[in-house]
Structure 1
Amino acid sequence: MELADKLKKLVETDGVSGFEENIFAQAKDLFFDLCDDIQSDPLGNMIAHISRGGHKKVMLAAHMDEIGLMVKDIDDAGFVQFTNIGGYDYRTLPAQEVIVHGREKVFGIVATKPPHIQNEEDKKKAPKMEDMRIDIGLSKEEAKKVVSIGDPITVKRHMLKLQNDFYSSKAMDDRAGVLAMLHCFEILKKMNHSIDVYGVCTVQEEVGTRGAIVSAFNINPDIGIAVDVGFGSTPELPKDETLDLSKGVGIAFGANIHPKLHKKLIELAKEHNIPYQVDLVPGNSGTDTRSIQISRCGIATALLSIPLRYMHTSVETLSMEDIKNVGKLLAYFILSLDNIDLEELLCF
């Protein structure tokens, strides 16, 4: 199966934060033949383990949850009121097709007041989430038979292939990171190495990096590397805060990043002709990185970023080449640890 087909499977599977059962099953199926065992923990993280004796342990982490919505109420006319799970850009919600994951899948559309009957003040601003409704075509009595308060909601979206190997979909954040980690495992399957590798598809990142907190504590790796998406450049955004699509891996540098790991990753990218960009993250990266870094007595941590446009919308867009290059760099990094004294690499 091509990487694009695997990405399609990942992004089109539902898995809102706190409701990751379906994406867990999909990820487990993709990793199954590439590792020695797959485990879960009480929070729902999926942990794919390549076992080599446990002398050196590297944890890779990419979150498999996605942002979404949740049923808040059903009004007297049968329209669904909703709230957000994670930081959805509510400006992009009007007219979206959605799936309410109730007792059965219920399709609906996000409805707002037509522009013809909006006053001049309303036309100048985006509608607030509390003013939107989901029309599922049912009366209140019919709706209550299939929909309950607390049911998760996802945008109904199929992955699109654009030009130049670009792809667009919901949930690229961070199923693209899961795919990069999977590609790393595919490369390692063909190589000999002595490193224990834990590939963790973490849960609930979008609501507080909770999966990374417990999985890092449980695994207690020597090194942790988070894989997530970074802000892709568009004409209106400042260059120093963005990454260019198809121009290489974002190798993050900042407070959450161990400086020697940053240096090592850049050296390996140069050695293996992997294009890269420096991703400046001066404070909290907003990813699983920080939660891994401060676990137990502290873990040497790095972050690789996949450039992504239109983050936290249903049309997140990226380059497949960037995903492949992240997977390659992860694999070369793990292979490079075979003959290295980790104490010498990680000490300040």
Structure 2
Amino acid sequence: MRKLIRKLSDMRGISGFEYRLTDQIADMFKKYCDDVKIDSLGSVIAVKRSNKPNAPKLMIEAHCDEIGLIVTSITDEGYLTFANVGGVDERTLPSTEVTVHGKEDLWGVIGIKPNYLLEQGKTAKLKELAVDTGLSAEKVKELAAVGDSITLAQSVGRLGKKQFSGKSLDDRASVAAIMRVMKNIKDLDIDIDVYAVAAVQEEVGCRGGKTTAYGINPDMAVAIDVCHGITPDNSDNAFEVGTGTVLSVGPNLHPKLTDELFAVSERHGIKVSTDVDGGNTGTDAWEIQVACDGVPTALISIPLKYMHTSVETLAVSDVKATVNLLTEFIKEQRGELQWLNF
């Protein structure tokens, strides 16, 4: 699992530029699925079919895009200014290593004015930052252009004995979980068709989740994303990393589907916590729920510290708990979904 998470995290693809990684993700799914395709928006859809005709369809979905930056100008000195793509935590950008995806991949660092030149007590604003590649202005303009994407360069590394830290674990860790689920059910005779989705453009508006739900028209769906892990400055509505996966309850989530997932966790001794979302969960579950004529939807979340930074941190055990919960849920389905009805 660690190697899979690292491999997916090291891929580069901010929202709108996922074509840099979706072919690789599609190839990885092909080992476990009957059919794999990339839809018109760029999301990967892989399916493991039941041997039974007209089987119900379950969609399990995570997003594969990452937050990042986009070049807005190249100065006369060769520095690259940028705008953010998705909810980048601007406070963490100074001194960050990045990769500019131009005609060639350019390694760079985000520079900042010396501390004594900044207004006391103020953090640097995005417009005050720029990428320094160490190249001449002429060379930068030859290799890079306005509109090129920029990704954070941090690779995943072990943090202690049980945790991993790096970029884009939101939501590549969930993509890894789905891949492992598909591997687990590859040779099983299941009673439902399982559609695995690695959706694009979640970080800029939950777009891939919406379009794939319309394309698949599933009978039920489970979105997998991350939630906040407890840190020294954040304990409200946050969960201890390493204590299992998280199921959400609230108006965005179907109560009977969610209850069944809780029941599966109890039957199989899988550690699950409860998150309460009183409205929009801020995940693809929000859009999937209202696709077509409505889709019973649940949300599983993996606790993650330092979200939307280059050092997102999680426990592999929580990813494994997510895999186990989904695998056992799929194995228990018998093809009839009357239990979902109100």
Aligned partner of 1:110 in structure 2 is 110
Alignment of 1:83-162 (within 5 A): 83-115=83-115, 117-119=116-118, 122-162=119-159
Deviations along 1:120-169, whole A, 9 cap, x unmatched?
xx231110011101111233332111111000001111111122320001
Partner of 1:314: 310
Amino acid at match of 2:170: D
- On the 8 A contact 1:10/1:26 being kept in 2, the answer is no
Does the Cα contact within 8 Å between 2:177 and 2:322 map onto a contact in 1? yes
TM alignment of 1:187-336, pairs within 5 A: 187-239=184-236, 241-336=237-332
Secondary structure at the aligned position of 2:45 is classed as strand
1:345 is aligned to: 339
Q: Would you say the 8 A contact 1:9–1:26 is kept in 2?
A: no
SS at match of 1:33: coil
Which residue identity is paired with 2:117?
Answer: Q
Q: For structure 1, which segment, 174-183 or 16-25, has the greater mean C-alpha deviation from structure 2 after superposition?
A: 16-25
Unaligned 5+ runs, structure 2? none
* AA of the residue aligned to 2:6: K
Which stretch has the larger CA shift, 97-106 or 230-239?
Answer: 230-239
State the shift of 1:27 in Å: 1.4
CA RMSD in angstroms comes to: 1.2
Which residue identity is paired with 2:341?
C
Q: Using the alignment, how far apart are the partners of 1:164 and 1:306 within structure 2?
A: 18
Give secondary structure in 2 for the equivalent of 1:34: coil
The percent identity for this pair of structures is 41
Distance 1:279 1:190 in 2: 33
Report if aligned partners of 1:248, 1:277 keep a CA contact under 8 Å in 2: yes
Counterpart contact for 2:26–2:36, Cα < 8 Å = yes
Give how far 1:262 is off. Answer: 1.2
Partner letter of residue 74 of structure 1? I
Which of residues 25, 28, 34 in structure 2 aligns to 1:36? Answer: 34
Secondary structure of the residue aligned to 2:260 is helix
**Structure 1 unaligned residues grouped into runs of 5+:** none
Q: Quick check: 1:251–1:278 contact (8 Å CA) kept in 2? A: yes
2:183 to 164, 181, 186: 186
User: Taking structure 1 as reference, are residues 136 and 175 closer, same or farther at Cα in structure 2, changes over 3 Å only?
Assistant: same
Q: Distance in 2 between matches of 1:60 and 1:14?
A: 22
**TM-score, normalization by structure 1:** 0.95
8 Å CA contact retained: 1:269, 1:329: yes
Q: Is the 8 A contact 1:38 1:49 kept in 2?
A: yes
